[in-house]
Amino acid sequence: MADFAWEARARSGEVRSGVMAADDEAAVQAYLRTMQLTPIKIRKKRRAFEISFGSGVDVKELVTFTRLFATMIDAGLPIIQCLEILCGQTKNPSFAVILRDIKLTVEQGSTFSDALRKHPKVFDQLYVNLVQAGEVGGILDTILQRLAIYNEKAVKLRGKVRGALVYPIAIVIIFSIVLSVLLGWVIPNFKTVFKELGSKDDLPGITQIVIATSETFVANAPFIAIGLIGAIFGVKRVYRTPKGKRFFHRLFLKAPILGDVLRKVAVARFTRTLGTLLGSGVPILDAMEIVGKTSGNVVIEDAIMYARGKVAEGKNIVEPLLETAVFPPMVVQMVGVGEQTGALDSMLNKIADFYEEEVDVAVAALTSLIEPAFMVIVGGTVGVVLIAMYLPIFSLAGKVKGN
């Protein structure tokens, strides 16, 4: 897929120009002919070098696009015209290229959902399947509004999790830097002063221990750095394997304090996604497969796919979910009530609302617990070093005063 700048002549003799994304020059010519334009010049544009992370499209941009698209569809505008307008409004060049390609694909006869399916990094399986359900049911504007609400809630939930993780990670990094400066620069300077004042054996015990720790750190600093880098790359390599990913995901869910937060996040995501899919008319087996693949946790995915298999055999959803021991019994029982009353989608959304509030409480509790703990560790470490370094100086000052 590349950008092509084109010039073409209309039947009136007017020369028009534009830019479009296409696989090759022939696709551009075909598009211009369908628009009753005679190609004059088609030139492949060179893109400036840019670093792209993932799809290059932010979730907030996707939410804005979805809401605007839903509003335009509700107002009766054709899909192609909606895409043309939104393509001109977006400030993200990567997203503009994707929207132009979607517009071209729809113009060539594909459905909107099939056009979205060509860009899985931006429009995931959940998004595409919901749009497809909206197209089939003739309620695309309603589905898009639900998608926008779903994505907004997903962004908020993701922000809460990041907020819970960023703070302790930042504290650990700062603590590591402070400790490295103390051991690698501050203590060696004090050590030089102590050496000039007298024998190392005359120093207090705590001072000797701190100096010995500093000497060990300085002597082995290259090996420590290599070891840390090796450990990081090793964990990443193991995580990329199916067994490694499953091990770490299970470890995350069982971790003290943090595991409880992650489990509540998983429940909120599972119920919100499944409720949105079922409420949009997606069959339960298809919905459970999509939910499993978009769960973000292999252990959760295995549990959902196991339950899906049992539902496909004719069983209700409650028993297999209880057997997995992944979801809280209360959640499973509420799902069972929703299934019996025929309002499963509504019940799932209520559970999601409840657990999203629970995540708020859990994150606040986690932050309030971690903050004083890290303050004690950091303050205690720095305090021990300061006492160890200044104790000999106070001792020396006392001897001088006594003399």
The residue-averaged pLDDT of 393-403 equals: 61
* pLDDT (tens digit per residue) in 155-206: 887 777 777 677 777 878 888 888 888 888 888 888 777 777 665 666 778 8
The residue-averaged pLDDT of 194-219 equals: 79
The residue-averaged pLDDT of 344-370 equals: 84
- The 3-state secondary structure of the chain reads CEEEEEEEECCCCCEEEEEEEECCHHHHHHHHHHCCCEEEEEEECCCCCCCCCCCCCCHHHHHHHHHHHHHHHHCCCCHHHHHHHHHHHCCCHHHHHHHHHHHHHHHCCCCHHHHHHCCCCCCCHHHHHHHHHHHHHCCHHHHHHHHHHHHHHHHHHHHHHHHHHHHHHHHHHHHHHHHHHHHHHHHHHHHHHHHHHCCHHHCCHHHHHHHHHHHHHHHCHHHHHHHHHHHHHHHHHHHCCHHHHHHHHHHHHHCCCHHHHHHHHHHHHHHHHHHHHHHCCCCHHHHHHHHHHCCCCHHHHHHHHHHHHHHHCCCCCHHHHHHHCCCCHHHHHHHHHHHHHCCHHHHHHHHHHHHHHHHHHHHHHHHHHHHHHHHHHHHHHHHHHHHHHHHHHHHHHHHHHHC
With vertex at residue 6, the alpha carbon angle to CA 5 and CA 12, rounded to the nearest 5 degrees, is 150
Q: Do domains 59-152 and 162-403 have the same CATH topology?
A: yes
Residue 6 has pLDDT above 50, yes or no: yes
Percentage of the chain modeled with pLDDT above 70: 91
* pLDDT (tens digit per residue) in 261-305: 888 888 888 888 888 888 888 888 888 888 887 777 888 889 999
**pLDDT for the residue numbered 22:** 64
Please determine, looking at this structure, whether the domain spanning 162-403 carries the CATH number 1.20.81.30. yes
Residue 54 has pLDDT above 70, yes or no: no
**pLDDT for the residue numbered 49:** 35
Residue 51 has pLDDT above 50, yes or no: no
Let me know: does 43 contact 33? Beta carbons within 8 Å: no
Does this model's pTM top 0.85? no
59-152, superfamily in CATH? Answer: Type II secretion system (T2SS), domain F (1.20.81.30)
Confidence of residue 396 (pLDDT cuts 50, 70, 90): low
- Give me the residue spans of the domains in the chain: 2-44, 59-152, 162-403
